[in-house]
Each structure stands twice: as C-alpha cells, then as structure tokens.
Amino acid sequence: QVHLVESGGGSMQAGGSLRLSCAASEYTVKNYCMGWYRQRPGRISEALAAIDVDGRSSYADSIKGRFTISKDIPERTLYLQMDSLKPEDASVYYCAADYRPPGAAVCDVFGVEHLGYRGQGVQVTVSA
C-alpha cells in the first residue's frame, strides 16, 4: 500500500512562493514515478510535473520555469516549489505515484493524473 500525504498548501499573494511537500515511504520516493497535478472545481485535472527514479523531471508548459519538482529520498519526501504564483494557480494540488517496471512506459508529466496512487490533496489559494 502506497500512502501519500501532502502538506504546505495555504494562501499567498500573486508573485509569492509556496512549497508543497508529499510524505511517502523511502521505498516509494526511491523507486516510484512521482508527480504533481491539480484540479479546480468543475475542471479536469491538469498534470504539472513528474520526476522519475533517476531524478529526471518533466513539466507542463503552463508552469515551466515557475515550478520545480524535486525529491529527497532520506527525507522520504517529494516537493513542488512554486514561485511567481498567479491567481490562476489556485487549485487543489495532488501528489501521485506509481511503479514503472523496467521497459514499461516512461515516467513523464503526461499522464501524471492517472498514476495509481494519490494523496488527499492540499488547497492553494492565490490572491491578486
């Protein structure tokens, strides 16, 4: 069972920064494809970023250059550093993870919202 717990959400003014954290087991952070996506009420999920087991990352164009995904295996945590926040970044943010066997589909931002495990989500509010 993969257990993911997000934290770090809250309210911020436009232009500010927030860092989201996703706590997991060390095994998960080390061996799973992980990523972040967000979902606003009444809208489809939007994949944001992914990081593979070797630390290679990929991003959606909408947040490229403003958000950074990273992971700390000893700390058992996945991060999403969000800078230059915009009002349209307000959403519920989810951490997601899944195992990718060797030779299986690559770990890429496309499809992050369909990874097998996700956390409970964390609210981010951005005021103009």
What does the pLDDT look like over 34-81, one tens digit per residue?
Answer: 999 999 989 999 999 999 999 999 999 999 999 999 999 999 999 999
DSSP code of residue 20: E
104: pLDDT confidence band, cut at 50, 70 and 90? confident
- Residue 105 has a pLDDT of 79
Residue scoring higher pLDDT (38 or 100): 38
Centre a 10 Å sphere on the Cβ of residue 105 and count the other Cβ atoms it contains: 11
- Residue 1 has a pLDDT of 86
- Residue 113 has a pLDDT of 95
DSSP code of residue 87: G
| Cβ–Cβ < 8 Å for 116, 3 | no
Mean pLDDT of 82-103: 94
Distance CA 8, CA 13 (A): 15
Taking 90 as the threshold, does the pLDDT of residue 102 lie above it? no
Mean pLDDT of all residues in the chain?
96
Instruction: Work out the percent of the chain whose per-residue pLDDT is above 70.
Output: 100
| Cβ–Cβ < 8 Å for 62, 46 | yes
- Residue 114 has a pLDDT of 94
List the one residue out of 43, 124, 48, 46 whose CA is nearest residue 86.
124
